[in-house]
Amino acid sequence: MARVDPVPDRPAAVADFGDESALLVADYHAGIEQSLRREGLEAPSRAEERRNRVLSLVVETGVERVVFLGDLGHHIGEPEGAELAELEALVAELPVPVTLVRGNHDGGIADVLDLDVTPPDGARFGDVGLCHGHTWPSEDVLSADVVCMGHEHPAVRLEDDVGGSRVERVWLRGPLAGAPFAEHHGESLDLSGELVVCPAFNDYSGGTWVNIEGQEFLAPFLPEACPDAEAYLCDGTRLGRYDAI
């Protein structure tokens, strides 16, 4: 079984592609502050902090590649202004090759940055399939031992005995179910892999509270594609089934 191991206390993972190791980072959303300010929110730039966090993770883990699991940028179209400057600085300073798994916010990035970009339905690296999750993954991606995605920004709301609550980012992991993909692709798929839904890297990006009734998943194939998914905090704490927390 291919290995995809979350980095303790970080919203990032290390994947073994067989011929190289890669840092997986989902939903970086460079330049998100511009959008938040347009909505009237006070949002100081964390561009440098985000970049330094990724650079530190590359050094700490010793990976040979960085893969952004979609939504590297935040603006839907071609990035510009502060967002473009943030993206250019990030790619220029990363000491290893960079791959972008195209997400719904990444429409114009390939035109302005020097990096590898996958099709919207993802790509397979060794025994690891990668997709963003905003559209249906390819059959090649689904046939991998482990399928990793972003897009959802999964989080849980935890309550204490006195009525207090807090929101925590989580990983979702569980066996991949073939039924929704068979219906979409029009043929039976014998899937035996694991699905890993990665938490958002960007602190400003919010999330889907997967344990709150009425909170809908964003991916067209969830939760049906992984009904037995379990949630894990970034520190590794296992919370159990996402819908029973």
Report d(CA 127, CA 164) in Å as an integer.
42
Which tens digits make up the pLDDT trace of 68-85?
A: 999 998 877 777 888 899
pTM of the model: 0.94
Q: Answer whether residue 48 shows pLDDT above 60.
A: yes
CA-closest candidate to residue 205, choices 43, 7, 8: 43
- Which pair of tokens denotes residue 205? 């990006």
What's the per-residue H, E or C state across the chain? CCCEEECCCCCCEEEECCCCEEEEECCCCECHHHHHHHCCCCCCCCHHHHHHHHHHHHHHHCCCEEEECCCCECCCCCCCHHHHHHHHHHHHHCCCCEEECCCCCCCCHHHCCCCEECCCCCEEECCEEECCCCCCCCHHHHCCCEEEECCCCEEEEEECCCCCEEEEEEEEEEECCCHHHHHHHCCCCCCCCEEEECCCCCCCCCCEECCCCCCCCCCCCCCCCCCCCEEEECCCCEEEEHHHC
Architecture of the domain delimited by 4-244: 4-Layer Sandwich (3.60)
Q: Answer whether residue 1 shows pLDDT above 70.
A: no
To which residue do tokens 């509270």 refer? Answer: 209
Which tens digits make up the pLDDT trace of 102-121?
A: 999 888 888 888 899 999 99
Report d(CA 2, CA 20) in Å as an integer.
12
Bridge partners (DSSP) listed for residue 6: 13
**Domain extent listing, the chain:** 4-244
Q: Answer whether residue 26 shows pLDDT above 70.
A: yes
Report d(CA 17, CA 146) in Å as an integer.
11
Q: Which residues contact 186 (CB under 8 A, 6 or more apart)?
A: none
Which tens digits make up the pLDDT trace of 185-227?
A: 888 888 889 999 999 999 988 888 999 888 889 999 999 999 9
pLDDT of residue 100: 96
